[in-house]
Every structure is written in C-alpha cells, then in structure tokens.
Amino acid sequence: MNFDEYSDSYFKLLEEQEKTFKFFAPDRYFFVKYKIDLLKKILSDYPKKILDYGSGVGLALPYFLENFPKSKIFASDISTNSLSVVSKNYSKVEVIRDEELTKKHFDLIYCSGVFHHIMPPKRGKVLRKLYKCLNRDGLICIFEHNPFNPITRRMVSTCEFDKGAELLSLSNLKKLMNINSFGVIKSNYTLFFPKIFSKLNFIEHYFGWCPLGGQYYVLAKKKE
C-alpha cells in the first residue's frame, strides 16, 4: 500500500471511522494516548533516544514529547509525505527517512499498528533492520491489533488504509521476535474498556493474559 496517498486525507478517514465506533473511541487520540501512557508505565527507565517507527503523520508525537520530556524523539515512516507533515508540525522531533534509518541508533523503538501492514515474508527483514538500529540493551515495544477481538477485526475491515492488512497474533509475533534475536521481556493484551469506562483501566493489568483486549503489546530487549 502507498501511504503517501493517505497523508492528506488521513484525518478525514479517521473521522469517518470514529462516527461508526464512537462508543469505543469518541476521538482519534484516545487509543494513541492510552498506548504512550502505558508505555511510560511499563518502562523501568527513561530512554535517551526514542524512535517512533511508522509514525505516520505523527499522532503519537505530542504524547511522547509530554511523557518523555528529557528524551530525544525521532520519527520515521516509509511515507515521505507523512514525514513532511511531521516536520511541519513538530519542530522538536527529528525526522529520518526510512532508507537512512540504519545510520542512527536508539534506546527505544516504538512501533504501533505497523506489522499488520507488512506482508508476512517481509516481517523478519523489518525486525532485523530495527535490531541493527538499537543501542546495546536497547528495547523495542510493538503494539498490534488483536485478531481474536471481533470489534478490532470489524474496525480493521472497515478502515480504508487497512485494506490488504493481515493481522498477526500475539504468540506469532513473540515467535517472530525470538527468531530475530529479540528477548521478550513482557507481553499483554490491552484496551479492554472503551473510553466511557476508562476509569476501569487501572485493573487492566490483571487481565493482560486474556485474549479479549482490542490490542496487545510486546516489550523486548536486544540480544547480543
């Protein structure tokens, strides 16, 4: 898929989907903020350099800047048009073109909703590239859609820029990461409650084992 085609219409497409699933996420930033807040909680230390890999037009960037004020934030995406939007809107974020990514090294790579857009035969190659971009003892945190959640599947099937996407399970992602020299530290299912019940989010970690959450995450460490 050519994501450059969606860089200008991205927010409009999100608004259309929000109307359909308003009960679960009345605004486009609910899921994004949730994940960056969760990332801050599960990390034991503040990374000096953080890469938002597959940043798109930068929905997560304001929350990175807010939650990690002492970290240097970087953004990369295969869509050059999207990176132009990031450069325009976030002067404190350093933009890196995808082909120049391996020239940099990071302490944490954040990757949300990217791997289901990558065809299965190419996922290992992308992980190996990200491995090379991590500093020693660097971490990677991947958030993905949970294919066992029917609402998630419905949202993906009705999303214009998810056409042709192939969801992958938590267990398959963990296997793929282990094969490509990442040691899994922690993984959980997340997003059990819609925003209207967000006050219940504090109990979500008790249900992390249950494959009913809308998404899941895998936090892994670079092996030597």
Q: What is the CATH number of the domain that holds 98?
A: 3.40.50.150
Q: Which domain holds residue 160?
A: 3-222
- Model pLDDT for residues 91-110, shown as the tens digit of each residue: 999 999 999 998 999 999 99
What lies within 8 Å, CB to CB, of 170 at 6+ separation is 144, 146, 187, 189, 211, 216, 218
Q: Report the C-alpha gap between 136 and 154 in whole angstroms.
A: 39
- Mean pLDDT, the chain, rounded, equals 85
Residue 205, pLDDT score: 76
77 by Cβ neighbours in 10 Å (0-12 / 13-18 / 19+) ranks as buried
The b/e string for 131-164 (b: 16+ C-beta within 10 A; e otherwise) is bebbeeebbbbbbbbbbbbeebeebbeebebbee
Mean pLDDT along residues 144-152: 90
Mean pLDDT along residues 164-176: 93
Q: Model-level pTM?
A: 0.86
Per DSSP bridges, beta strands 106-112 and 134-145 are parallel
Q: How confident is the model at residue 129 (pLDDT cuts 50, 70, 90)?
A: very high
Per the document, the length of the chain is 224
Residue 144: pLDDT over 70: yes
Residue 198: pLDDT over 70: no
Q: How confident is the model at residue 155 (pLDDT cuts 50, 70, 90)?
A: confident
Q: Report the C-alpha gap between 9 and 92 in whole angstroms.
A: 24
> What is the 8-class DSSP label of residue 114?
-
Instruction: Specify the number of domains making up the chain.
Output: 1
Terminal-to-terminal C-alpha distance of the chain: 34
Mean pLDDT along residues 72-89: 94
Low-confidence winner among 72-81, 103-112, 193-202 (lowest mean pLDDT): 193-202
Mean pLDDT along residues 194-198: 64
What are residue 216's phi and psi, to 5 degrees? -145, 165
Residue 23: pLDDT over 50: no
> What is the 8-class DSSP label of residue 33?
H
Residue 15, pLDDT score: 53
Residue 19: pLDDT over 70: no
Q: Which residue has the tokens 């890999």?
A: 53
